[in-house]
Amino acid sequence: MPSQRVIENLNLGLHTLFERHETVSLLGEDVLDPYGGAFKASKGLSTKYPDRVISTPLSEGGFVGVAAGMALCGEKPIVEIMFGDFITLAFDQIVNFAAKSVSMYGTELSLNLVVRCPIGGNRSYGPTHSQSLQKHFLGVPNLDLFEISQFHDNAVVLEKLVGLGRPSILFEDKVLYTQRMYDVGIIDEIFGFEKCGDDNDFVRVFSRDFDKPHCLLITTGGLVPRCLSAMRELFVEHEIECEMMVPSRVYPLDLRSLEPAVAVMEHIFVVEEGTPGGSWGSEVSHNISRNFWDQLEHPITIIQARDSIIPSARHLEEKVLVQSGRIVNEIKSRVRHA
């Protein structure tokens, strides 16, 4: 039987969460049935739980602020941002109210707010509907950042988020919605995977046929298909062997889970869809260098989007965003010149 698609797994995860927690609710634009949200992640929730699904006006700052207030009062609201680009309109409510409210009243308060953000390009949606804006939320005290993947069951991830006691953002790369979940440790005839780290937060993608891989790729959910394509080509065409680490929680990152892989790799590549400058890739590279400097054989390479807005034309969009061919070329150039 084919595995679930990522969007189906996410929808099931939301239904499971609603069943388990009476204080869970959903706020967002066009989330009521029969529409069920722009990408159908919320399908069926308003029919089954009509009093706990609230369709809001087009005001991200307004309904994120309402949800943060609900969370401060002990409820567990989930906010659906229609396109992640529009989370910028709620920046003040997330950073200056929700995240600060956990610890600015003289005692630590529990504030279980989850903000879901569809992100990423490669769908010809243009410059204001295709961005990956994770870097703008890095380093905010009491704010955790997560990303969906084909490896992490969304019911488990969402259960974790509504119990964190502090606000979180769940980034959902739109290209993943139609992809199949991986759930039996096998990806294809070359690669398999295993969960590792605290709470199985990381996934390690590897091949048992590799004696000593040359490269480690560290990336997040939406880049996994492109990284896998690059890893296959590098192995089959160029005899360059790679492993990959994929976290569910992208900030703060558990460096202890990375240490075994970092210690044995000749080359490390951090792959992200965001633009250069103060990015997640820069943060990961900095922390690995600071903590594992004596174990690094070569400088860490960051592969990221071009310093540009994202065009609507597909052939131009592909040049701006990270594609598998670029990953292949970057790795080939570093390994051959080492």
What pLDDT, on a 0 to 100 scale, did the predictor assign at position 2? 66
Nearest in space to 182 (alpha carbons), one of 213, 146, 228, 251: 228
Contacts of 102 (CB under 8 A, 6+ apart): 108, 109, 110, 111, 142, 165, 166, 167
- Tell me if the bond preceding 299 is cis, omega within 30° of 0: no
Give the mean pLDDT of 140-154: 97
Give the mean pLDDT of 313-324: 98
209 vs 233, higher pLDDT: 233
Angstrom distance (rounded) from CA 334 to CA 301: 9
Q: What confidence category does residue 3 fall into, taking pLDDT thresholds of 50, 70 and 90?
A: confident
Q: How far is CA 229 from CA 10, 224, 247, 308, 325, in A?
A: 24, 9, 19, 24, 9
Q: What confidence category does residue 336 fall into, taking pLDDT thresholds of 50, 70 and 90?
A: confident
Contacts of 3 (CB under 8 A, 6+ apart): 180, 181, 182, 183
Give the mean pLDDT of 234-256: 95
What pLDDT, on a 0 to 100 scale, did the predictor assign at position 338? 52
Question: Would you kindly state where each structural domain of the chain is located, as residue ranges?
Answer: 6-176, 192-337
Angstrom distance (rounded) from CA 325 to CA 229: 9
> Each residue of 159-193: pLDDT tens digit?
999 999 999 999 999 999 999 999 889 999 999 99
Q: What is the DSSP secondary-structure string of 238-261?
A: H---EEEEEESEEES--HHHHHHH
269 vs 1, higher pLDDT: 269
Residue type, 202: F
What CATH topology corresponds to 192-337?
Answer: Rossmann fold (3.40.50)
β-strand partners of 267: 215
Angstrom distance (rounded) from CA 161 to CA 76: 10
Residue type, 12: L
> Each residue of 62-110: pLDDT tens digit?
999 999 999 999 999 999 999 999 999 999 999 999 999 999 988 899 9
Same CATH topology for 6-176 and 192-337: the answer is yes
What CATH topology corresponds to 6-176?
Answer: Rossmann fold (3.40.50)
Strand bridging mode 24-28 / 53-55: parallel
Given a cut of 70, whether residue 135 has pLDDT beyond it is yes
What pLDDT, on a 0 to 100 scale, did the predictor assign at position 209? 87
Whole-structure pTM value: 0.96
Q: Which tokens in the block code for residue 141?
A: 């005290």
Given a cut of 80, whether residue 315 has pLDDT beyond it is yes
State whether residue 205 is helix, strand or coil.
strand
Q: Which tokens in the block code for residue 285?
A: 């590279």
Angstrom distance (rounded) from CA 2 to CA 284: 35
Given a cut of 70, whether residue 337 has pLDDT beyond it is no
Give the mean pLDDT of 30-49: 97
Question: Mean of the per-residue pLDDT values for the chain?
Answer: 95
H or E, element range at 93: none
